[in-house]
Chain A
Amino acid sequence: DVKVTQSSRYLVKRTGEKVFLECVQDMDHENMFWYRQDPGLGLRLIYFSYDVKMKEKGDIPEGYSVSREKKERFSLILESASTNQTSMYLCASSQPQGANTGELFFGEGSRLTVL
């Protein structure tokens, strides 16, 4: 079974803190993604990566950065957390384009509250 593991299920941080959200997948997938889920807005893509050291902005990258030093690990970084970043964060991975037709495998999510 594909396993995508997010390191923290629940986090509470203060405004201005630096926040790291870690994600690890065990299926040797090339592609990894970070989404955030908010009521009524669905899942919105923050950043994605097609390979180690590569990253591309998604639809809402402002206030976030990412790191992919190893193939299996994709980290989301909030340099200075703000209250509007309170959300559910979902990591996903997939095989490369051409190897499948778009199915993403998601982690269980990290619910972040910024006070």
Chain B
Amino acid sequence: DQQVKQNSPSLSVQEGRISILNCDYTNSMFDYFLWYKKYPAEGPTFLISISSIKDKNEDGRFTVFLNKSAKHLSLHIVPSQPGDSAVYFCAASAIRTAGNKLTFGGGTRVLVKP
């Protein structure tokens, strides 16, 4: 049973518009959440993270929102750029109990059209 789910396998958006990626989790022990970005033939790279004590974290064009009661987080990319075209993985960790072991979602492939 997947503890972290990304229900949208793909997303297409026009350059300059907002990309919204969603992620749901089931394990209430998760207390830290991360987004990774992956280009073809490369390893994932860390994008942004959020602790469960916060509900929002912003870094430039990227903002992550956390709704603990709904066990839901989202990544907003504004404005979207062609270089943002990649696969995005949501990941979660129970830092207090499981150290740095991350559980990943299935990924969302984003295509930003010029």
Contact = CB atoms under 8 A, between A and B. Distances in A.
Interface of A: 4, 9, 31, 33, 35, 40-45, 48, 50, 58-59, 90, 92, 94-97, 100-109
Interface of B: 4, 6, 9, 32, 34, 36, 41-46, 49, 51, 89, 91, 93, 95, 99-107
A109 B36 CA distance: 15
A34 to B, nearest CB: 12
Contact of A109 (B42, B51, B103): B42
Given A106-B43, A108-B42, A109-B42, A31 B106 contact: no
Task: Give me the 5 closest cross-chain CB pairs, A-B, nearest first.
Answer: A106-B43, A97-B99, A43-B104, A42-B104, A42-B106
Nearest to A31: B100
Given A42-B107, A101-B49, A106 B100 contact: no
Given A42-B106, A48-B101, A101 B46 contact: no
Given A48-B101, A96-B99, A109-B41, 16 more contacts: A4-B43, A41-B106, A42-B6, A42-B89, A42-B107, A59-B103, A92-B43, A102-B49, A102-B91, A102-B95, A102-B100, A103-B46, A104-B102, A108-B43, A109-B42, A109-B43
